[in-house]
Structures are given as C-alpha cells and as structure tokens.
Structure 1
Amino acid sequence: MTAKQKDFLLGIDVGTTLIKSALFDLDGHMVALSSAGVGLEHPSPGWAEQDMDAVWRATSQTIREAVQAADQSGGKIAAISTSGQGGGMWLIDRDGRPVRKGITWLDGRAGEFFPDWEKAGIIEELDESTGYHTFPGVGPLLIFHWFKKHDPNILSKAYKTLWAKDWVKFKLTGVVATDESDPSNGHFLRGERQFSEPLFEMLEVKEYMHLLPPIVPSWQVMGKVNAEAAAETGLQTGVPVASGAWDVSSTGLGAGCIREGQTLSILGTAGIHLSVSAAAPQEKKAPYSACVHCVPGHWVVNSMAMTATSNLDWFIRESCQADKDDAERTGKNFFEIINARVAASPVGAGGVIFLPFLQGERAPFVKPNARGVFFGISDATTRGDLLRSIYEGVAFSARHNYEVIERAIPIREVVLSGGGSKSAVWSQIVSDCTNKPMTIPAGEEFGALGAALNAGVAVGIYKDHREAASHLSIARRHQPDTQNHALYQGYYEIYRQLIKNNWETWEKLAEIRNRRR
C-alpha cells in the first residue's frame, strides 16, 4: 500500500474498564482520541465479567468519533488494529453471538481448584512449562476446566473462544483470529508459538481445543471491515484490520521498545516492567514471566508489581487536603506543589523508607498479605519526607523488579511512561535509585499507538517495526546521579531487609485481621 499525506492509522485499546480509539498520523502523532467506559459485573464473589455487546457498543461509539475526526481533517483511515486486556474467555456461537458474558482476566472462579492443583504439582508444572505465572483468570486453559466441572452446557454451545481485542476484531471483520502475544500467556510451551496440547491434557480439557481461534501474527492483516461494521462505526468497508496484541506488548511497541534489552517501565496504578528479548528465557523456576512480543522474533520478559502510583493516590487522598486547599486558593497546580515538597526532601527522605505494598505484592515476589510500611518516622519527619519516601519506595520496587528481569536479559535502556513519568522529580529518583538512564517518550496512549504501528506494518506503510518506531519522539531524558545512587544503595539494602523482617509478621497480621471479620 502506498501511504498518502492524509492517511491515518486507527489504534483501538480494549481496556478492562475503558475503551479508547486513537487516530494517529503516519509519524505517530495522535490526532484524535475518543474513549468510553464499560463496567465490570460481579455476579458471584470473585467473578469478574463484562457484557460483550456493551463492549462492542462502547467501541463502535469511540470508532465513530475517531472517523469523524479523520473526515474533518480531510483524510482517511488506511488501517486498523487493536490492543487489549489479556486473559479471560470470550465465547461466541456459530452465529457470532456471545454465548454468555465475557470473562475477564480479573475473574477468580478457577481459583477453587488451585489448592488441589498446587498439591498435585500442576501449578508448578504449568509455570515451568510455559514460562508464565499461572493465575485463575489467565485464559481459557483454566476457565475451560471450571465450566467442564460446573456448566459444560455453555461450552457445548460455543463455536470459538476469543480474547477481548479479538472480539472487537471479529465485530469489525467477521473473522475469528487471535495473535501470538495473548495466548502465549500460559497457553504455549516455553519458546513456542502455538497452542500446546500437553497443557490442555494436563488440565483435562483437551476436548475443548477446537474452540481455540486460529493464530495470525500481530503485524499481519487478519481481515477487512465488513458492511455491518461500517454501518455501525462510520468506517469505510474494506479497511484492513491487523491482528493486534496483548496490551502490555502493544504498549512496549508504542513506547519504542523493539530491540533486545530495551525496557519499558509503566508507573501507573500498577508498576509494570518489561524487557525485550531476542530469545525465549529458559530459566524454569523464574520469578518473572515471559510472553511473545508483537515484534517478529522477540519475546517480552515481564515483572509486574501490584502497585505504583496508587500508593501516592492513597496518601494524597488521606493526608494532603491542606495542599489541595492551597492549590485552590493560589491557583497553583496541585502536583507542582507535591513535587516541590518531594524535591525539598533529601535523598533518603530524611531516613524514612516506604514499602509500597498497599494491596499485597505479586512481583518480584508473591505475597498477597504484604502491606505498606513507613519505617523510620521521627518527630522531624515532614509531609515532604513521607511523599518522597513513597516516590523512593516505588523506585526501590522498580529496581527489585529489574534485578529479577536481568536474570534473563541485561537491561540496556529504560523507557519510562505512565502517570509517574510526568513528574520529572519522580523520574529522576527512579534513574538515581536504579542507576539506569531514563527516556520519557513524547505523547500518550502507547497501547493504542502500538496497535496503530502494527497496522501500519501490516499494510506496508512501514517496512518493518524499526521503521515504524523511528518516527517516535522523546520528551526528555534523565541520567543517574552517581552520588545519589551511592546514597540510595544503603537505603535499598534496608528496604530489602524490611521485606524479610516483615515476611512472617504480615501473615500473623492477616490472621488477626481475618479473625475480627
């Protein structure tokens, strides 16, 4: 395909609670963004479902608004792709209708089997075989088992199972397909790129493998917009749709992480850290997970902390009303006030160390009952010290996760994104603590951008992913301060020791807490 000056690429990000359609020009600049919320339903404790038709309605609404933006610019959409939440199970029948509500990655119903599977060594074998840490909502492999035991009639009605982004692609094209990145989370043998029969035999669900969709690589066209979708969205019929990717992989591409050793840290609600590898890691009892990247021939090694900026959100909500009042009274930006307080506190936050485990932890260690700790508070401690200790605690968590990832692949460079990266102070703290240079990319919506770049590669607008990523620009860079890093070394050692010291105490506290309920 020959690209024209007014061609656009449409990236659709099917998030857990928010759908976004972003329009990009061929240089990767976002031209328009439309978003719509979609709710989670919890019909039983631990379940997490979504109305598949509601997801499509929200998506079609955002697409229509993106199409209008393209029309107003006098251009056209040359190609489309999707990224989306991983895991779960989205069943359709032979008529393309949902069999039931979509099951999301947050769903825990398959967790009822985990005690028996753990005793039998099945969870350990799954982890070692796939290179991915198994959890209840990981995908159809485990969820098939639950329905086989509790509601097999649902599976008998199904024609295919999809991942969230694939449901949107199906509604656009009428074609059933997934990519490699989504099912590589727990459904492939280590280093392979196809569904593994032995895994489904292990879970006693081999008879349902016919429900799995065909695999089309992320950067290839899987179908074209059909007439029905065109009528609902305003798209032109025949627009190519590329296969897309799991949102974590797609975000890596959108942030420019396409070569070995390039690492993305997303300081959002959670702390997501991933590094690109040219080979599948072979460590069997690895503390990290690995999946197929949406860039040909590459994998992503990831370690995902439970929290990052949510620690700051909690502290602001509970302890920063005076700063909010000050911002309203003076017209100052609230976060500028917060960052100024952090900058005024010295390296080490006046001797206060924060453990950022408000919701337990999943990486680089698994400890659901871990909780947050402020250690070292004195009568000289200021609000700025507490704030800085939160920034530093999240940076210590990043360093801890980097150490895990570097068991598989040396980290060459780090791209920092997410809400935390908007703070130059926080970005510098992460650089100093980890002793890694930090690059802050320009723009936003990197998951949707990664989808758009895959679409561009699929139709030949870009020769390859390297050319696609070459258009991305940098907002700023941070180099580690060697003196600050030396100071942080001692604090980091105490941080690690505090985790060890509290390991059993967290369990005792949880026991007492649960006793009171």
Structure 2
Amino acid sequence: MAYILAVDLGSTQMKLMIMDEKANIIMTVSEAYPSFVKHTGWLEQNPEDWEKALKTGIHRLKQKLDLDKVEVISFSGHMSGIVLLSEQGIVLGPCIMLSDSRSQHQSEVLMETIGEMVKERTGNPINNAFSLPKLLWLKEETPEVYKKIKAWLSPKDYVRYCLTGVIATEYTDAYNSLCVNQKTLDWDEDIIKESTLRRSSFPFLCSPSDIVGKVTKVAAEKYGLKQGIPVVAGGADMACAVLGSGLSKVGDTALTLGTCATFFTLISQIDSSCYGQVTFHPLISKGKMYALGSHINGGAGANWISSILSEKGAIDYKMIAELSEKAMSVPAGSNGMLTLPFLNGSGSPYFCPSDKQHIFGMKINTTREEIFRSQLEGISYNLRQTLLVFQKMTKIEKLMMGGGGTHISIWPMIIRDVFGIPIELFDNPDVSTIGAALIGGEAVGFFASPEQTAKERLEIIETQLPNEENYRKYQKLYLKYLMYYEMMHSLDLKEQL
C-alpha cells in the first residue's frame, strides 16, 4: 500500500498526516512551535522551529510506520507569512506572520496609490492581512536586509524548499500577496512595478498539484525520508480546507469554529459590492474562487469568557461544557443581555482594529450561563453578517460546520437559529491536511478527482434544523446588535483620537 505524506504548517502547530492511496488516514501527529512578539503589533516565528517540528514529526511517524512507502509529499500552510532567503539560501531573519500589523503605514500608502488597481485585479483591499505591505515595509525599514534577498517565500513553501532546494510557490498562497492577477493566476507585473518591489525576488509560480522537485540526498539524511520522493507544491490552508471539506460547487458553504472562526463559500465570480467585507481567493481547481470571512473573535471569545468566569483564571474546558449545558435552559436572547464580541478588534465585515467587547443588559441577578450564552450569541450575530454578505453572491441552502467550537453543545444550535438555515456537523479538525494529501494523491495518479474523493470520505455526524420561534426572535435581536454596534463603534473610534 502506497502512502501520501501531507505536511500542514499551521499558525501554532505542524500536522503530519499519512494517507494511503485509498484515501484512508493511517496516522496523524502534531508538533507545536512558539510565536514571538518583539514589539507592539509584531508577530513572528522562527523557520528553524518549523524544521525541528518536521524532523520530530517524521521521526514519530517512522516509529509506527514504514515511510519508505511514501510515494509523494504535499503541503498546506498558513497564508501571508514572509520568509526571506539570501543568495546562499540562508534565512534572513524570522517569518513575519499574517497577524503582524507593523506595515500599517505602507498599507495606507499603497491603498492610496494602487488600491484601485489591486481591487480591479484581485477583488481585495490592501491591508496588513496581506503580504504586499509587509514586503514594502521590509524594503523601506530594513534596506540592508532587503538588498540581500534572493527570494521571499510563504511559510509552507519554505518547508518544501528545505526538502527539495527548489524556490517556488503556487497561486492559492501567492494570491495573498495581492500581486497575482485573478484572471491569469500569474504574477501581475503592473502591481509589482507600481509597488516599487524588486521583481526578481518573486519566486517561480506554479499550480498546487505540480510536482516541483524531489527529496534531495541532504534532506533525506536530515529528516529521515527516502531520497527522490516527488514533492508537490500544495496549497494555502484555506484552499486546502475547502477541498478537504468536500465543497465543490457554487453555494457550498462551511464554517470552522476554531480559535478564529473561518467562514467560506464557493462563488462563480468576484462581486465588487462585497469589497472589503470579505476577501476573495482562488481554489485549488483553476478558475474557481471562494469568498472568505475571517472572524478573529471565534472560539477565542468562548475561551476568554470561560477564563473570566473560572476561579482558575484560565481557560477551563470542563466549565465550558458545564456552562453550555446550563445555558440550554436560558431562552434565546439571554434574558435581555447582548454582547458585542470584539476582544481584539473586528474581522469580517468591518476589519476595524478599534472595535471592542461590550456587554449590555447585565442585572444584579444575571447568571454565569446567561453571560456565556450572550457571548456565543454575539459571536453568532457577527457570523450572520458574513452569511448575509455571502448570500448577496450565491444561494446558500445549508451550512457545513466543524472545528473545536462545535463541541460546545449549545453553540451549533445558536448559530442554526441565528442563521435560520440547516447545519450539517462534521467531526474532522484536519480538513486542511486532508486537502493537502488529496492534492498529492492527484499528482501521482491515486485520485482522478480530489473533489469527489473528498465528498466520498466526508462523514456528516448530525443535521440540525433551525427552531423557527428562536429564529424570529434572533432576527429582531440581530437588528438591536447592529444598532448597538454603530453606537459603540463611534465611541471606540473617538477614544483613538
């Protein structure tokens, strides 16, 4: 039986999965690594830590499995990170991560000068969540380092480089640079030129299922792999997650309730009326796009409220489960409480760093379960905003839902009733890793259709229909949420002045 090794470089840990040629998952291991904050607004990781995670993870797999059976290696990875390579192939400092906001000034300048061009050619605004302003920051603030750059790479592309020695990227990850044209899925020469970046530092760009190299002798000895294994480009984590979730046609929609809640739907084309509220990205299959809602206050909000309510002063998963059960008896609307759930600014559809958490309607007899339920309702109202943006572009008949947040038993019910559409729960936290494995399997002929294979292996564990009475109540409360947001948003902005 032949194996696929899928390497998923997440923002907190690396997952290594062995899948066989029949799409059965044989084994998965995870290796964590730290992030570093040197200055306010900075967020970095050391690529050396990823290499250590890769080596340790492969060693753990080898203790249980014969990795000589691995016939292909593929990748998934978090988007918008930047790793710099010198002419000698040496890493020039730490990776600047997606959430790093040091390039705010560059974002504003680029938005003024080439914002319309980037909007026309990518569908997206220029902000710190993309690579382009980060690259300009490097040029302007670290010119001595910038001069030494041979190429910049996304995080998963650097790990692949460690195995193959080949400098390359692919269009699902490169699109987050804002320098890839949506129509051609190739580097946009005009955007690169107008942004004043050096064209020669942009890596070779290919397709996700392209075999870009083979495991070198040096890498085989260093990481414990067989020399000569074909290595596939792979894809961005969200594009891989779409594939791994079994989504394939326009209108297919999924929500992953992780620390951040990621919400995506397949679309036929970019809709400029939704500009700046969600972002647009290419799928693994060329010519297909998805819209992405990014909610930084997802499961993090539930974790935070548990730490506030817990005597331990830390995340208490046992207490979360208990509060979830008790909150079942609290009526929709949390007995008059309403929460704006923006602990760290807001993501979709506002993307406003000054937005804050606010809790309205607390009384002397307010209970912990009411506070907990109100927190989940507030996050769900914010998610509904993205759903309504999606519904401008496509018809959504049901919602697939996964991630750790689905284990908070009351939360899927709240989302179901706030949204007013059926939800299908699937219990697989590794959809990005699965997507990467399917890309690898396609490249070597194991799977004729990765999308069909993903559909066949997906298991829906529960389908829930909305409670009509709660839905009607939540529709009114949602309007109240919007009114409260506008009021507090104005006040929060004034505090910044």
Match of 1:65 among 60, 63, 73: 60
Spell out, residue by residue over 1:308-338, the C-alpha distance to the aligned partner (whole angstroms, 9 max, x if none): 111111111111339999x9xxxx9544312
Distance apart, 1:169 and its partner CA: 0.9
Distance apart, 1:286 and its partner CA: 4.6
Contact 1:110 1:142 in 2 (8 A): yes
Unmatched segments (≥5 aa) in structure 1: 1-5, 512-517
Determine whether 1:103 maps to 2:116.
no
Determine whether 1:192 maps to 2:188.
no
Deviates more, 1:144-153 or 1:193-202: 144-153
Deviates more, 1:172-181 or 1:74-83: 74-83
Q: Name the counterpart of 2:335.
A: 350
Q: 1:261 to 1:143 in 2, by over 3 A?
A: same
Distance between the aligned counterparts of 2:271 and 2:71, measured in 1?
36
Q: Name the counterpart of 1:486.
A: 472
Distance between the aligned counterparts of 2:357 and 2:274, measured in 1?
30
Task: Read off the aligned partner of 1:385 and give its amino acid letter.
Answer: E
Q: 1:280 to 1:324 in 2, by over 3 A?
A: closer
SS class of match (1:99): coil
Q: Name the counterpart of 2:163.
A: 172
Distance between the aligned counterparts of 1:67 and 1:322, measured in 2?
39
Task: Read off the aligned partner of 2:161 and give its amino acid letter.
Answer: F
Q: 1:165 to 1:133 in 2, by over 3 A?
A: same
Q: Name the counterpart of 1:3.
A: none
Contact 1:303 1:404 in 2 (8 A): no
Distance apart, 1:77 and its partner CA: 2.2
Unmatched segments (≥5 aa) in structure 2: none
Q: Name the counterpart of 2:80.
A: 87
Distance apart, 1:82 and its partner CA: 1.0
SS class of match (2:172): coil
Distance between the aligned counterparts of 2:151 and 2:314, measured in 1?
51
Determine whether 1:158 maps to 2:149.
yes
SS class of match (2:291): strand
Distance between the aligned counterparts of 2:383 and 2:102, measured in 1?
31
Q: Name the counterpart of 1:133.
A: 125
Distance apart, 1:117 and its partner CA: 4.1
Determine whether 1:242 maps to 2:232.
yes
Determine whether 1:35 maps to 2:30.
yes
Distance apart, 1:153 and its partner CA: 3.4
Distance between the aligned counterparts of 2:366 and 2:327, measured in 1?
12
- Aligned CA-pair RMSD: 2.5
Distance between the aligned counterparts of 2:57 and 2:79, measured in 1?
21
Spell out, residue by residue over 1:26-52, the C-alpha distance to the aligned partner (whole angstroms, 9 max, x if none): 454543222222223344443333322
Distance between the aligned counterparts of 1:508 and 1:99, measured in 2?
40
Task: Read off the aligned partner of 1:33 and give its amino acid letter.
Answer: T
Matches within 5 A, 1:151-300: 151-185=142-176, 186-205=178-197, 208-283=198-273, 285-300=275-290
Distance between the aligned counterparts of 1:322 and 1:15, measured in 2?
28
Distance apart, 1:81 and its partner CA: 1.0
Distance between the aligned counterparts of 1:346 and 1:324, measured in 2?
27
Determine whether 1:20 maps to 2:15.
yes
SS class of match (1:100): coil
Spell out, residue by residue over 1:50-89, the C-alpha distance to the aligned partner (whole angstroms, 9 max, x if none): 3222321222221222233322xx9822322111111132
Deviates more, 1:97-106 or 1:174-183: 97-106
For these two proteins, the number of residue pairs brought into alignment is 495
Q: Name the counterpart of 1:450.
A: 435
Matches within 5 A, 1:268-347: 268-283=258-273, 285-321=275-311, 333-347=318-332
SS class of match (1:184): helix
TM-score by length of 2: 0.92
Distance between the aligned counterparts of 1:28 and 1:444, measured in 2?
16
Q: Name the counterpart of 1:147.
A: 138
Q: Name the counterpart of 1:515.
A: none
SS class of match (1:377): coil
Task: Read off the aligned partner of 2:304 and give its amino acid letter.
Answer: W
SS class of match (1:47): coil
TM-score by length of 1: 0.89
Matches within 5 A, 1:456-467: 456-467=441-452
Q: 1:37 to 1:322 in 2, by over 3 A?
A: closer
Q: 1:182 to 1:323 in 2, by over 3 A?
A: closer
Distance between the aligned counterparts of 1:137 and 1:99, measured in 2?
21
Distance apart, 1:106 and its partner CA: 2.8
Task: Read off the aligned partner of 2:10 and give its amino acid letter.
Answer: G
Contact 2:276 2:349 in 1 (8 A): no
Distance apart, 1:125 and its partner CA: 4.6
Contact 2:68 2:226 in 1 (8 A): no
Spell out, residue by residue over 1:99-141, the C-alpha distance to the aligned partner (whole angstroms, 9 max, x if none): 33332223333223344445x35445534442123223522x3
Task: Read off the aligned partner of 2:375 and give its amino acid letter.
Answer: I
Task: Read off the aligned partner of 1:66 and give its amino acid letter.
Answer: L
Contact 1:29 1:443 in 2 (8 A): no
Distance apart, 1:400 and its partner CA: 0.7
Contact 1:191 1:280 in 2 (8 A): no
Matches within 5 A, 1:368-379: 368-379=353-364
Distance apart, 1:292 and its partner CA: 0.8
Distance between the aligned counterparts of 2:40 and 2:476, measured in 1?
43
Task: Read off the aligned partner of 1:158 and give its amino acid letter.
Answer: I
Distance apart, 1:12 and its partner CA: 1.0
Distance between the aligned counterparts of 1:122 and 1:323, measured in 2?
47
Q: 1:445 to 1:366 in 2, by over 3 A?
A: same
SS class of match (1:321): coil
SS class of match (1:315): helix
Contact 1:265 1:415 in 2 (8 A): yes
Distance apart, 1:265 and its partner CA: 1.0
Percentage identity across paired residues of the two chains: 24
Q: 1:191 to 1:341 in 2, by over 3 A?
A: farther
Distance apart, 1:159 and its partner CA: 2.1
Determine whether 1:497 maps to 2:483.
yes
Distance apart, 1:345 and its partner CA: 0.9
Q: Name the counterpart of 2:69.
A: 76
Q: Name the counterpart of 1:367.
A: 352
SS class of match (2:328): helix
Q: 1:222 to 1:508 in 2, by over 3 A?
A: same
Determine whether 1:410 maps to 2:395.
yes
Distance apart, 1:473 and its partner CA: 1.6
Q: 1:133 to 1:303 in 2, by over 3 A?
A: farther
Q: 1:315 to 1:256 in 2, by over 3 A?
A: same
Contact 1:222 1:241 in 2 (8 A): yes
